[in-house]
Amino acid sequence: MLERACREYNIVMENRPKGLPNYGGHVERLFRTFMHRVQTLPGTTFSNVEERGEYDSQGRAVMTLAEFEHWFSIFVLKVYHQRPHRGIGRVPPIKYYEQFLLGTSTTIGIGLPEPIRDERKLRFDFMPYVERTIQEYGVVIDNIHYYADVLRPWIHARDPKNAKLKRKFVFVRDPRDISEVYFLDPETKTYFAVPYRNITRPKISAWELNAILKRIASQPELQPDEDTIFQGLAEMARIERAAAEKSRSVRRTTQRRAGWRKNAVAAVRTQFSEPAAVPAWDEDVQPFDDIEEAQ
């Protein structure tokens, strides 16, 4: 993925030498800083099981994945890059970057980079991709069928370098939502959305798909076809709903029992530590003296 994207944007990839971790120290330090900040959020899983201990990560989680991505973007752009860094003379990274671009009173900057013309394409270029041939039914990725009319001109296309082989095309996929993939047209260099062939299927993530495929693999009598995958998804959803309902029921029962115990203890303490109060109706009852007789 990185190699393909870097070729597209003329970025030279340089791998650090093996056995020389000092070449990657700045990256490791950056990751450590990010993880340290992330682990302060409610619902963190910490660095390992021992550190997490009895902490209920799932029960304390408060963010969706989209909300976390937004939070993390703000942290990087508006916090991390804006505060002074000791390693660069206590200058904020954003200011250091501006100095190299625009220059200072003593040095000449390299100038502003060319603006990105197509931000959508940039995003897709750096996403995971697969290569597939295109058939009459479209394309199959991880046992799921996808189809759109934009694929028609490329059905059974031959490899331009070897006519004996079928041509493979790039299909990009966002792991968070694989209900559609993005076909890279080799002529226009444009990405086109290609949805499920059966558009009634629900949206799922790549992680949900992997969980379902793992579940299917554990049952030799099942075959990983599209129907089985989405049946498995529906079954897992039912189990999750039942578990959630059971958990709510258990919590309610636990809370009620705690209330019962608290009230019972309070009643016992009152019975044995305080004198019995005389009910109000045991007092001498006096007649009302302000009632007028009916005329």
pLDDT attached to residue 48: 66
pLDDT attached to residue 278: 45
Per-position b or e across 126-147, b if 16+ CB within 10 A of its CB: beebeebbbeeebbebebbbbb
Calpha distance 291→294 (Å, rounded): 9
pLDDT attached to residue 294: 53
Query: Do the beta carbons of residue 199 and residue 228 sit within 8 Å?
Result: no
pLDDT attached to residue 282: 46
Helix (H, G, I), strand (E, B) or coil at 181: strand
pTM of the model: 0.70
pLDDT attached to residue 225: 87
Q: Give the domain ranges of the chain.
A: 2-120, 128-203, 204-269
pLDDT in tens, 217-237: 888 777 788 998 888 888 878
Calpha distance 11→126 (Å, rounded): 12
For 20, phi and psi rounded to 5 degrees? -125, 75
Instruction: Please identify every stretch of the chain with a pLDDT value under 70, giving residue numbers as ranges.
Output: 48-51, 247-295
